[in-house]
Structure 1
Amino acid sequence: MPHFSPTDPTPHALGFAMPPEWAPHAATWLGWPADDELWFGHLTGVRDEFAQLVRTIAHFEPVQLLVRGEESELDARTRLSGADVTPFPITLHRQALDDVWLRDSGPIFVTRGKQLSLVNWRFNAWGGKFEYEHDNQVPEYVAGALGLAHWDRPEVLEGGGLEVNGAGVGLTTRSCFLTDTRNPGMTEADYAALLKETLGLKKLLWLGGGLENDHTDGHIDTITRFVNESTIVTSVADDSQDANFAVMQRNLAALREMTDLDGQPFRVVELPLPAARLEGAEGRLPPTYANFYIGNGFVVVPQYHDANDKAALEALRPLFPGREVIGLPSRQIIEGGGSFHCVTQQQPVGEAWQGE
C-alpha cells in the first residue's frame, strides 16, 4: 500500500480527519497480554480481566486481537473459548508485540466520507521508558491487514494523549506533549499546526497535568474525556490532602473557561477518582474511571473494587443515552499503569482508501 510522507499532501489537505470515538466502529483492535514481568507477576489475573473485556466488546462489534506468539495465541483461544457465541467475531493476528497499549502504539484512523485511512506516528514508549521496537511496527501491520494507503509521520504521538470532539476541537496536557523525550523543541503552536494538518483539528485546548505516578506523563484519557461535541467529563479527587486534588481542581477550573469553535462553553461534568489509594510494585498506581472505552452501543468502565465504583457508573450513564454503560474489573490491569481505553483502538467504519 502507498505510504505518504510529511512532504506529500497531508490528510487535512485531502479532506481526511479523525472522527470521535463515538462514531460507528468497524472493529476494536487490542493486543493480548504476554509478559508476566511487565505485569509484576499479575499476568494470569490480567488475562482473566482481558478475556472479560474482549468478550464484552465482541457482543457489540468485531474484535481484531494481536497475539505475539504461539503461547499467547493458545492462551487467548483457551480463555476466549465459548466467545464464538457472541454476535461478532474475534479474529486473531500473529504480530510481534512488546506490550498491549494499542491506544498509544497503534495507529490513529482518519476518514473522508466513506473512506478510511490511518496515520502512523512514531512510538517510543512514553519517552523511552520501556522496550518499544515491536510496538512501533503495529500501525504498519494494521495498515497492511486492512489494505490502507496511509501517512507515516516522524513525530512521536500517542492516542491516549489526545481527545477529540468530532467538531474540530482537541484536548491534551502540557505535562505529556511538551516533554523533551517526545518531540524536543515542539511548542503548543507547533502541535496545533501538526494536528490540524494530520487529524483535521481546528482548535487545540491544553490542561496542565495528569495523575500522580502516571508513566505516560499525564495522558488526557486518564483524567478528562469528551462524551459528545459539547460535553466533557473530568476527574476530581475527594481528599484535599491527595496529591491529585490540586491538579484536578486546576484542570476543572481551566475546562470551565474553555470554549468550542463557536465560542460556546462546554458542559463540564465531574467524575470521582477511586477513593482508595492503590499501591503497585513501583509505587502509587493511577486508577481512574475516565479511562472508559466507547463502542457501538456500549461503554466499558473500569472498576477497582472501590467505594466509588458505583458512583462513577451512575455519573456516566446519563451521559451516554442509547449506550449500555458496563462496569468491568480492572484491578489487575491497572497494575500495568492503564486500563480499558489504553488497551483499545477503534477502527471507524469506512472503505479502505487506496490513495489518490
Structure 2
Amino acid sequence: MAPSRPSRRALLQSGAAFAALALAGGCSSSSSDSGGPESPAPSGTAPSGTASGDAAAAGRSMPAESRPHTRTFMAWPALEEVWGDQLPGVRQDIASLAQAIAGFEPVVLLARPDQAAEARQACGSSVEVLELAVDDLWARDSGPTFVTGPQGLAGIDFHFNGWGGKQTHAEDAKVAAAVLEHYGITRIAAPVTGEGGGLEVDGEGTLMATESCWVNDNRNPGKSRDQIEAAFKDLLGVRKVIWFKGVAGQDITDCHVDALARFAEPGTVLLHRPAADTPPDVWTTASDQARQVLQSATDAAGRPFRIVDLPEPDFNLIQGAGKNFLATYINYYVCNGGVIVPRFGDQAADDHAAGVIGDLHPGRKVTQVSINHIAAGGGGIHCATQQQPAQAPAGGSTTGASGAA
C-alpha cells in the first residue's frame, strides 16, 4: 500500500529552513498560493542584448522534445545545505544520467569552477563540463527554454526565482542568461516568471500547464490566467493551452506538469496515475482532474486526446522512498534516438513503464536509469535535463524524430 504523502517535496517551513530546503520538480490547485517572488518578471523594454517577446515570437515556436537536439544541458548539484548527506548519492545519479544521455547526443554539464574537476571525474570523457556557477541540478527550470524559427535559435529566460522563493537560487537565477551568452544565442526576456518543468508542448501548437504553478502570486503576482496564456502563445508559438488545476503549496514546484502529463505524440498524452491502493489525497485529485480535462478537450488541431495511464510503482519496493519521493514515470526524457526512463526498484512496474513508453516512442532505444537519490528529493530525469533543439537550415526543415542532430 502506498504511504500517505502530504507532499512530493519538502516545503519551506521557516526562515531558518530556507537554505536547507530540498529541491525541485514534481506536481500542483488554486492560484492563491503566496510567497512573494524574489525576482519579479520584468516589464516594458527588454534588457540590452535581448529580444522582447513580441519582436522575437514571429515565426518562432517551441519544438516537441522528440525533435532532434544539438545537445542536452545538465547541472552539477553544488550545495550541501540543500542536499545534506544525500549529496554524494545525488551526484552519482547525475553522473549516471549524463553518461546515459551522452550515448545518444552531446551533454554539457554546468558545474561551479571549484567543483568542475570532480564533475569531470565522475562523468567521464563522454560528458563536456562547462564551468559556470550553479546552485542545484535542475537544468529544466534554471536553464533557458529554447524556441526555433526563421530568425534562428533563441532562448527564453523565465527569470527563475526558486519556485516562488522557496529555495536559495542566487546563481541559478543567472543560469539561463549565462548559457545563452556563452553560446551566442539570442535571449528573450519573458514577461512572466516560471520554469521549464511547467511547460509541455506537442510541437504542433498545443501546450499543457498547471494553474497552481503559473497563476500564482509567488511567481506572477497580479497576472491573470488569460494574461499568462497570452504570453505563452507569444513566446512559444502555441495556439491552444490546456490548463490543469494542479496542487498549490504541497510541493516546491506547485505541481509542474512534467510530473503529471506528457505528450507522447500530438494527440496522445501519458498521464501519471497513483497506485491502485493509494488513499485519496491532493495528488490523486490532481490526476483525476487532469484526466477529466483531457477527456473533454481537444488539441490545437481539433483532435480529441488519447489518454494512456501510467501508474506509479509500489512504494514498499523502493529503497529510500520517503514522503518527498517523486515516483512518477512521466518525468522521462526523449533524446536523439533514445528515451531515458527512471528505474525505481519495483521491477514489474519499472518494466511495464519502460514498455509503455517505448511503444509510444517507436524507433528509439529505451534506457532505464536508477535515480532514487534524485527522486528522494522530489525530482526526476526530465527535471534534470534541458534540450537545445537543432535549428533547421534557412529554407529547410529539421526532420527525423529519432535521428541525431
Runs ≥4 in structure 1, deviation > 6 angstroms?
A: 277-282
More strand by share: 1
Match of 2:325? 285
Alignment of 1:1-356 (within 5 A): 3-6=49-52, 9-13=54-58, 15-70=59-114, 72-81=115-124, 83-84=125-126, 90-113=127-150, 115-209=152-246, 213-237=250-274, 238-243=276-281, 244-276=283-315, 283-306=323-346, 308-350=349-391
Q: CA deviation at 1:298?
A: 0.8
CA contact (8 A) 1:68 1:94 kept: yes
With structure 2 as the length reference, what TM-score do the two structures score? 0.80
SS of residue matched to 1:45:
helix
Work out the CA distance in 1 between the residues paired with 2:248 and 2:375. Answer: 13
Which has the bigger relative contact order, CA under 8 A and spacing at least 6?
A: 2
Work out the CA distance in 2 between the residues paired with 1:65 and 1:208. Answer: 34
Where structure 2 has 5 or more consecutive residues not aligned to the other structure, the ranges are 1-46, 395-405
Instruction: Give the counterpart letter for 1:192 in structure 2.
Output: E
Larger deviation: 262-271 or 122-131?
A: 262-271
SS of residue matched to 2:220:
coil
Deviation by residue 1:77-118 (Cα, 9 ceiling, x = unmatched): 21123x44xxxxx22111111111111111011101582111
Work out the CA distance in 2 between the residues paired with 1:352 and 1:183. Answer: 36
CA contact (8 A) 1:114 1:351 kept: no
SS of residue matched to 2:81:
coil
Deviation by residue 1:140-160 (Cα, 9 ceiling, x = unmatched): 111112111221234212100
Instruction: Give the counterpart letter for 1:274 in structure 2.
Output: P
Distance 1:37 1:305, change over 3 A: farther
Work out the CA distance in 1 between the residues paired with 2:374 and 2:393. Answer: 33
Instruction: Give the counterpart letter for 1:349 in structure 2.
Output: A
Work out the CA distance in 2 between the residues paired with 1:109 and 1:337. Answer: 24
With structure 1 as the length reference, what TM-score do the two structures score? 0.90
Match of 2:29? none
Q: CA deviation at 1:275?
A: 2.1
Q: CA deviation at 1:10?
A: 3.0
Count of equivalent residues: 344
Deviation by residue 1:174-205 (Cα, 9 ceiling, x = unmatched): 12111210101222211211011111111111
Q: CA deviation at 1:351?
A: 7.6
Kindly, what percent of the aligned residue pairs are identical?
38
Larger deviation: 328-337 or 238-247?
A: 238-247
Distance 1:226 1:205, change over 3 A: same
Distance 1:352 1:181, change over 3 A: farther
Where structure 1 has 5 or more consecutive residues not aligned to the other structure, the ranges are 85-89
Q: CA deviation at 1:266?
A: 1.4
Work out the CA distance in 2 between the residues paired with 1:130 and 1:342. Answer: 16
Instruction: Give the counterpart letter for 1:10 in structure 2.
Output: A
CA contact (8 A) 2:212 2:248 kept: no
Distance 1:242 1:301, change over 3 A: farther
Match of 1:87? none
Work out the CA distance in 1 between the residues paired with 2:392 and 2:182. Answer: 13
Deviation by residue 1:285-335 (Cα, 9 ceiling, x = unmatched): 332111101100111111211352222112211100011121110111112
CA contact (8 A) 2:324 2:378 kept: no
CA contact (8 A) 1:26 1:348 kept: yes
